[in-house]
Structure 1
């Protein structure tokens, strides 16, 4: 690692949480002659890149900052450099530097510095609201605040898989949510199609999510994870509240996908340009009845298969008294083949917003998972 990158790492480690950008700006001015350093953070809707301080948000899809964000590659345009601020596939935003360096080596160093910044933002965010506040273009509802705080991230990338998810309406989501974890050989994914309104819906989803995490971290299999979460919800609400949930476990070496469908959102497979809905065995939602026994299903994935999980809020989105529906969904999913998962998710949500000509009213969750095959 080059000395300028090491220097920035040391500066970041020592900087106060709220002054990361200021400290980087000082180092870049001295080492690269930059006169302007700006941090753009992607908003909750994935619709704007918001400046940490000052300036106007970047919303135009053709803007170099968005091209940098979508393609995760440094962009130089009109003497300005745009660098992806991402860590392990979790995209935070874009670092803007001006003037951009002319040499490739310097541009590579700045890209490494932007990655170091992403790691440091992740490290300090638990102790400061500076970066959380900068991600929002308007106030979140209390329920939405709870839901976003519970997520593991919005995207994740490893050599054997890549995934991303989004909640809508981003600033007012109530009960829909997702969760994931991986240990290098397996990735677990749960998607919840929540019920109810406001904080009550968020609390119900939080209970189910933490019950599933507790079961997963105890080493239980997928069916037992569902049973434990089912019992937790039933014990509190005695069948008066329940949650449609899809649980998945993907073996990253073999491509075997294990699924438990607890009244779940839909699971779509994109393979070779064709879209099909996987035939899941419908079982009771979590919390509907006491001591439900859940059964697992298994499917074999092929290298470069793409899975989409979509809740009813996607299928049932309505514009001009017309339902979005399965046909439009399948047609759009076929178009996402060349896109990275987060870009595919953002494009689908954008298509839904265009269809309804506004933000979605009902909760919707979209998750995209690519299995790229076993890795040595």
Structure 2
């Protein structure tokens, strides 16, 4: 090769395969064709190469109460770990590694992050841990999470692990419809939760981050069971279709309204709230079609309800809705919820009400970190306060606007 043909700097770069690259590369190369049931033994082999033992993959159950061991050859399968009261749960909720010294080494819990959604936790024991171990295992956990999410789309194995109770057909439909329960980038974070997890029917939510615009919808279809799930499915499908057409919020409402009316007739409806948040500026716009007003949270305290003109629920042929607007400050959170959360009551007694909701939001905002931990804790606490059960679907969806930029993530150190 002539000297002039050499690429500047290329020959000075060591491109040989090191231990870490080989470890991650083998998993990546083989995962493309690996049947789902062989993922567990391959992961166990990979972690063993680092010196790990007693390896477990813990997946979150649908009720967001437990981290459940995934069964598989060479994996340790013990009792589920409570998310709210365990080292594994702390690693999961805070998306951070936890190390617990033990007599025979160090027990490590590493969050399995697919993007920013917590899939579960990788647990293992090492004799000793140094920074090289931490770096390699953190990257290995990230790759494992991506593989689990990819394989999940064509196997029931992970679903069956996460399911801890019989699930209704309506709930099966809703869970298959949902986006990841949480998403986080430097400028914004979101998290949602549905109740009751194993029999939810008419409630659903959807979101998408397109360039600088976060799109959000929360819907609540009338009724219960399969009919409600079917209506919610059509509503979310119509929302996604119209959102992707690039039309404004009032036109999205009109499209969803027409879809529900044509499919189900004039006596069926879906309450809905559609939002757009510019994650660069904090400008939030929304249309309210029969939903309770969201709560604006600032400095971990409910500042006020975001009252706005409402239009008729989707399917009732309401007039063109007015688009409301709010300029958020950095750190502000917006909590959307469906009426099942506040209208629950025992026969002859008062409804749970928004006052109690605000009370618990203020308490939990000061005790939990991160939107996912807040939403999970708030949902479970509210269910306890409502008597431990709900006669209607109840949904929470929390948005946190952080501002700033993410361009630094494209720069290699």
The secondary structure found in structure 2 opposite 1:127 is: coil
TM-score for both structures, normalised by structure 2: 0.86
Please say if residues 64 and 83 of structure 2, whose CA atoms lie closer than 8 Å, have aligned partners that are also in contact: no
Say whether the 8 Å CA contact 2:202–2:221 is kept in structure 1.
yes
- Counterpart of 1:139? 166
CA distance in 1, matches of 2:127, 2:281: 44
User: Which region of structure 1 is more displaced relative to structure 2, 35-44 or 335-344?
Assistant: 335-344
Deviations 1:296-333 (A, max 9, x none): 11111111110100111111234794543222211222
Q: Deviations over 1:80-112 (max 9, x none)?
A: 111101112211111111236411220221121
Correspondence for 2:99: 76
Question: Which one scores higher on RCO, CA 8 angstroms, separation ≥ 6?
Answer: 1
Q: Which has the larger radius of gyration?
A: 2
After superposing the two structures, state which structure 1 stretch, 263-272 or 250-259, moved more: 263-272
Q: Deviation string for 1:195-228 (max 9, x for gaps)?
A: 1111000000001110111101111111111110
- Number of the residue aligned with 2:358: 330
Residue number in structure 1 paired with 2:222: 195
Partner of 1:272: 299
Residues in 1 aligned to 2:128 and 2:319: alpha-carbon distance in whole angstroms? 61
1:37, 1:97 within 8 Å by CA — same for their partners in 2? yes
**Pick aligned residue for 1:107 from 118, 131, 134:** 134
1:172 deviates by 0.4
Alignment CA distance shift 1:101-1:245 (3 Å): farther
Secondary structure, in 3 states, of the residue corresponding to 2:272?
A: strand
Among residues 347, 369, 380, which one is paired with 1:350 in the alignment?
380
Shift of residue 114 of structure 1? 1.1
For residue 316 of structure 1, give the secondary structure of its aligned residue in structure 2.
coil
**Of 105-114 and 41-50, the range deviating more from structure 2:** 105-114
Alignment root-mean-square deviation, CA: 1.8
Q: Structure 2, unaligned stretches of length 5 or more?
A: 1-17, 72-76, 408-413
What is the SS of the residue equivalent to 1:303? Answer: coil
Structure 1 runs (4+) greater than 6 angstroms displaced: none
Q: 2:287 aligns with which of 245, 256, 260?
A: 260
- Aligned position for 2:401: 371
**C-alpha separation in 2, matches of 1:225 and 1:58:** 42
Aligned to 1:34: 52
Stretch moving more, 261-270 or 243-252:
261-270
- Number of aligned residues: 374
TM-score between the two structures when normalised by the length of structure 1:
0.95
Task: Confirm or deny: 8 A CA contact 1:244 1:265 kept in the other structure.
Answer: no
Over 3 Å counting, the alpha-carbon distance change for 1:47 and 1:319 in structure 2 is: farther
